[in-house]
A and B are shown apart, each in its own frame.
Chain A
């Protein structure tokens, strides 16, 4: 049956079973592959997206939950996401890059909630996202840097 998903401000009509996780709706039906599969059980955060601004592990949330809501993926944009991108660039953060979609989305969610996060805030907000390459210290610095960039822009 056809369903409508709103992703990054665009509407997509897809024919899909209701219990399909949002991750696979986005990747295999809509065709946006920036959101990654890592574990399938909410353990690694590679599949992080925002649903109406709320951080969600898309591998474990049925697609039907997102119908009628606005999804933001790494292909999308937001004020905080753009500052984070710039900071990620300044800090040359990624190695293999695979987890970074999820890292950036999780960091966006953090900055949406906490204007100037402490290291402890970052520990709490970012520990659901695994980076096997081990870029954590750069991610931490980049989040602080994004706040700096944002403050400079005001």
Chain B
């Protein structure tokens, strides 16, 4: 039985509200496996759909959320290519958050990695059905037909029929067996690997793309929620009189904290909600609430003290981590050239341009939600648990996402909206203010690392000790997880790209007193910063050129298979480094007050090297040029990869120069973009992106891997320019102006 199937038309209409004409194909993909899940008869549950209609329109129903990483366009390109479709007929529709459509979680840079193959097979299947229909019409052999530019061509006569004119006949054709599918050769690709424009450009440039915050339901209310400044604090008492005096405010309602079975940090924080007939009144009402809080045990949490505490700890022995190898102590004893350094990264917040928000309508036995969600299925499961509604009766509609960066993989804002809708018995949109977003996030954790390295007589690294203290994301799932977990250390610590004979990694205790979450490239931000800064320091101590030193440290060609189907290949790592050095004209004479720095990183199975040129004048640093090279295997949409890497450079600059969340007495001190700053147009350097075009390799991550090398490359460049080493981020806090 083929894993691609025709879809029951009535179901299709019900699910997507699309006309049930033409060819409708569905297949099932899993996010964990690269290919189809083996299906037994009767249990087939398609989760990826393509429809071809009489007017030629091809609609792809995408299961992954679009948050700016171009997924909708990339996935459509795979189908269009195999189908020989004309790009102008391609449209994409977002699937609702139903488990029928497979795992929809959009994080970990894995969307393209997992769905490419099934998409191509769907396209190839549809093409064969169209060819079969045309062959019948002409009464010729299928082998005498080919597909080209939205038509089937009779090879012998050059006669052609438009796709749309064939769909009714083709829809009755059998779906070809998977074994019969002939996928295109790499050199024949028309869309895959080329520069494709976003399918959503028209909406983006006319203000007609609907984000979560743009959802409008008849008779809906708008709400803002005051949450305790200290994580997990609760409402002691409140006075709503002033809030209620604001024009437009209708109700003030207390919301309890909601804790899911999966862990204490998800669910909703609770607080006091102001319901109004417009967003502004809700915001104003919230500002006019007089609330007394029970701050709870996190009131004593001060980031400054915490950093001191974990800095002290990384200078003591930690827990040995498996993967350590050789004997660093002997290496240190034998060396005459020892380098030690301590690196610090602060808490960070995603601050996507679209604040967290959700529109919910609780109707007794049914719940419908509209929200910008990276992981709609987890939201659905949480809602089923909290509101005791059958999961089949919960619809989560995923809107456009105005930036996610990991923040919108959490569902707390959705749970709040449903709880409130239930209380007021009306549809309601909960909108976070920017201050809410900065003060109540799932933060990227702070870290302190201690590194000690030794050089042998030839200036080669003979020993490498690294102690890492970073509050764990696991704490959000399982409270009191005080050490980084294995999967976190696997983000650039246990699997650094270097060839080290004597390597010792130690895990150091770090408690979580804020909600910790994922932020674009996650723990790789810490490992990328520590590793690359330290290699630069070692290169300086060895009196060697940093690029040469890096190449030497990556070492001989080797492939580390690991458990993954994406082995680490040191040759690819060296290749991107060499390319970047070449593009940056490494070794060239730089203008006065300029410096250049390099960093490499392996993350989400992709290889990245970045060189940064800075100028430093009168204590003012400016990033002048960035050169990044990525090897992410097969490239689906070259221009999209380029756009992602350009964006990652800007995101990485924000981390290096500006980003810092601090707490005092448990409360986050930053408020809005004036004190949580980020890169702007005036800071933007020339960015040169080079993409290794290796169509023989599997596609790997694109959205995140560009971020980790940025901060260390900038700091290494500043060192090159000034001789001063910056080991703590962000740079604006270190006496540098930007």
- Chain A: residues with CB nearer than 8 A to chain B? 17, 20-21, 23-24, 27-29, 31-41, 43-44, 46, 73-75, 85, 88-89, 92, 94-101, 104, 122-124, 126-140
Contacts and interface: CB of A to CB of B under 8 A. Distances in A.
B681 A123 contact: yes
Interface string B613-652: 0000000000000000000000000011001101111110
Contacts of B202: 89
Contacts of B640: 92
B278 A34 contact: no
B353 A40 contact: no
B204 A100 contact: yes
A127 B646 contact: no
Given A21-B280, A37-B431, A92-B197, A130 B205 contact: no
Contact of A24 (B279, B647, B682): B279
A98 B402 contact: yes
Contacts of B434: 38-41
B679 interface: yes
Nearest to B706: A134
Most chain B CB neighbours (cut-off 10 Å) among A37, A43, A44, A134: A134
B353 A33 contact: no
B306 interface: no
Nearest to B197: A92
Contacts of B644: 95
Contacts of A35: 207
Interface stretch (B51-59, B65-73, B545-553): B65-73
A125 B119 CA distance: 43
B200 A97 contact: yes
Given A24-B279, A46-B353, A39 B673 contact: yes
A37 B207 contact: no
Interface stretch (B209-217, B587-595, B711-719): B209-217
Contacts of B70: 95
B354 interface: yes
A137 B351 contact: no
A17 B68 CA distance: 36
A56 B628 CA distance: 36
Contacts of A130: 353, 673, 678, 680
A100 B686 CA distance: 21
Contact of B403 (A43, A89, A96, A129): A96
A135 B681 CA distance: 9
Contacts of B647: 95, 133-135
A129 B681 contact: yes
Contact of B684 (A29, A100, A137): A137
Contacts of A140: 681, 684
A137 B248 CA distance: 42
B646 A138 contact: yes
A96 B67 contact: yes
Given A40-B433, A41-B672, A132-B678, A94 B198 contact: yes
Interface in B674-709: 674, 678-682, 684, 686-687
18 contacts: A17-B248, A24-B278, A28-B278, A33-B207, A34-B206, A34-B207, A38-B673, A88-B205, A89-B197, A94-B204, A94-B205, A95-B643, A97-B400, A101-B207, A127-B680, A128-B680, A130-B353, A136-B681
Contact of B208 (A34, A89, A131): A34
A21 B354 CA distance: 18
B247 interface: yes
Contacts of B134: none
Interface string B264-308: 000000000000001111010000000000000000000000000
Contacts of A38: 353-355, 434, 673
B401 interface: yes
Given A17-B247, A43-B673, A130-B673, A98 B354 contact: yes
B639 A92 contact: yes
B403 A133 contact: yes
A122 B353 contact: no
A138 B643 contact: yes
B352 interface: yes
Interface in B407-436: 431, 433-434
A15 B351 CA distance: 33
Contacts of B402: 36, 96-99
A122 B68 CA distance: 24
Contact of B405 (A89, A92, A129, A132): A132
B504 to A, nearest CB: 37
B216 A132 contact: no
A153 B78 CA distance: 36
B621 to A, nearest CB: 16
B158 interface: no
Contacts of A29: 278
Given A97-B203, A132-B678, 17 more contacts: A24-B278, A24-B279, A28-B278, A32-B207, A33-B216, A34-B206, A36-B354, A38-B355, A38-B434, A38-B673, A89-B197, A92-B195, A92-B639, A92-B640, A94-B68, A132-B651, A137-B646
B403 A85 contact: no
Contacts of B143: none
Contacts of B195: 92
B403 A98 contact: yes
B232 to A, nearest CB: 26
B517 to A, nearest CB: 16
Contacts of B351: 132
B213 to A, nearest CB: 7
B684 A136 contact: yes
A126 B681 contact: yes
Nearest to A84: B205
Contacts of A41: 434, 672-674
A96 B644 CA distance: 11
B354 A85 contact: no
Nearest to A96: B68
B689 to A, nearest CB: 10
Contacts of A94: 68, 198, 200-201, 204-205
Contacts of B210: 33
Contacts of B281: 17, 20
Residue among B201, B213, B352 with max Cβ neighbours from chain A (10 Å): B201
Contacts of B353: 36, 38, 44, 46, 96, 98-99, 130-133
B231 to A, nearest CB: 23
B278 A20 contact: yes
Contacts of B686: 137
B222 interface: yes
Given A39-B672, A96-B352, A126-B681, A134 B648 contact: yes
Interface in B367-419: 400-405
A85 B198 contact: no
B543 to A, nearest CB: 36
A111 to B, nearest CB: 15
Q: 9 smallest A-B Cβ distances: which pairs?
A: A34-B207, A134-B650, A96-B68, A98-B402, A74-B207, A95-B68, A134-B647, A97-B204, A33-B214
Contacts of A46: 353
Contacts of A129: 680-681
Contacts of B209: 97
Contacts of A33: 207, 210, 213-214, 216
A34 B207 CA distance: 4
Nearest to A99: B353
Given A95-B69, A140-B684, A44 B673 contact: yes
Contact of A136 (B354, B648, B650, B672): B650
